């Protein structure tokens, strides 16, 4: 279980980016974080794996606090937390399978990683994951030849080969067309259940959040304004989140 308690962050004095964020998520749950631009969504995700130093609170992964972890412990936690990015963060000139295998780097010495030393078992698993994301035929293609949606599916396979307990996705579909967005959301939903992981995705698209996520957390000005099962998301609640009327996006 992932528990966030009283998380606080200010980048500048007297300008809180996050104020008293509290939520906990059980394995097998797909959570969408929605809210206007600048609300603090990325700050939450980056705090969860301690890519940025927050100012206070607790982040507990199966009871262990990431915020007080030492370097070695933090490295261990980060292996358990996969990341999926808006712009995929792939090495474009390398093949699809090499990019998936990069997800294993957190388990290797720098040297073994540098020389691309992967075990047969790791290569087998990379292929299995590529099948799961529907890209087994692309294993030996260079990533630069793939479409955006395909690249994001490589990014998801790369996060899964880490054997994560949690995957954090920062705007995973913001660069994709509507059809690829749906494919990626469906994949995240299915893999969350299949691998019994926690998936947390920052999203702009409220309609897709409602269609695919189990639960939606709304953030505004760095504060949680709701945390509900996605079926509970009503127009009234949405109006509390956005300044302008965006409820038509639900239709």
Ligand X SMILES: Nc1ncnc2c1ncn2[C@@H]1O[C@H](COP(=O)(O)OP(=O)(O)O)[C@@H](O)[C@H]1O
From the CB of 203, what's the least distance to Mg ion, in Å? 10
Helix orientation angle between 120-132 and 148-160, rounded to the nearest 10 degrees: 130
Asked if 41 is part of the footprint of ligand X (rule: CB under 6 A), the reply reads yes
Q: Are strands 223-229 and 215-220 parallel, antiparallel or unpaired?
A: antiparallel
- Binding to ligand X (CB under 6 A) within 120-159 occurs at none
Query: In the complex with ligand X, which residue's Cβ is closer, 16 or 27?
Result: 16
Judged by CB under 6 A, which of 21, 25, 39, 233 binds ligand X? 39
Question: Which strands sit side by side in the sheet containing 64-65, from one edge to the other?
Answer: 15-25, 2-12, 56-61, 64-65
Helices and strands, number each (H, E), in the chain: 9, 10
Site string for ligand X, 8-37 (x = CB under 6 A): ---x-----x-----------------x-x
CA distance 214 to 3: 17
Tokens of 212: 């695919």
Judged by CB under 5 A, which of 7, 9, 42, 100 binds Mg ion? 42
Site string for ligand X, 56-85 (x = CB under 6 A): ------------------------------
CA distance 96 to 138: 7
Asked if 218 is part of the footprint of ligand X (rule: CB under 6 A), the reply reads no
From the CB of 19, what's the least distance to Mg ion, in Å? 17
Binding stretches for ligand X (CB under 6 A):
11, 17, 35, 37-43
């Amino acid at each position: 279980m992932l528990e966030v308690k009283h998380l606080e962050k200010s980048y500048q004095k007297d300008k809180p980016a996050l104020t008293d964020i509290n939520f906990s998520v059980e394995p097998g749950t797909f959570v969408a974080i929605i809210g206007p631009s600048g609300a603090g969504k990325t700050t939450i995700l980056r705090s969860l794996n301690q890519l940025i130093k927050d100012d206070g609170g607790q982040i507990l992964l199966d009871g262990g606090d990431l915020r007080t972890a030492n370097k070695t412990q933090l490295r261990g936690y980060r292996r358990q937390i996969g990341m999926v990015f808006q712009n995929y963060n792939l090495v474009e000139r390398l093949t699809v399978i090499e990019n998936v295998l990069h997800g294993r780097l957190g388990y290797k010495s720098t040297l073994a990683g540098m020389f691309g030393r992967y075990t047969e078992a790791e290569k087998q698993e990379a292929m299995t994951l590529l099948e799961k994301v529907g890209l087994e035929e692309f294993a030996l293609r260079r990533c630069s030849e793939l479409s955006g949606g395909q690249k994001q599916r490589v990014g998801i396979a790369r996060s899964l080969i880490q054997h994560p307990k949690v995957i954090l996705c920062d705007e995973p579909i913001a660069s994709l067309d509507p059809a690829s967005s749906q494919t990626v959301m469906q994949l995240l939903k299915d893999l969350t259940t299949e691998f019994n992981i926690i998936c947390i995705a920052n999203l702009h698209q409220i309609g897709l959040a409602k269609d695919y996520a189990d639960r939606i957390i709304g953030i505004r000005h760095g504060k949680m304004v709701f945390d509900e099962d996605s079926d509970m998301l009503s127009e009234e609640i949405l109006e509390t989140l956005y300044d302008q009327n965006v409820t038509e996006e639900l239709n």
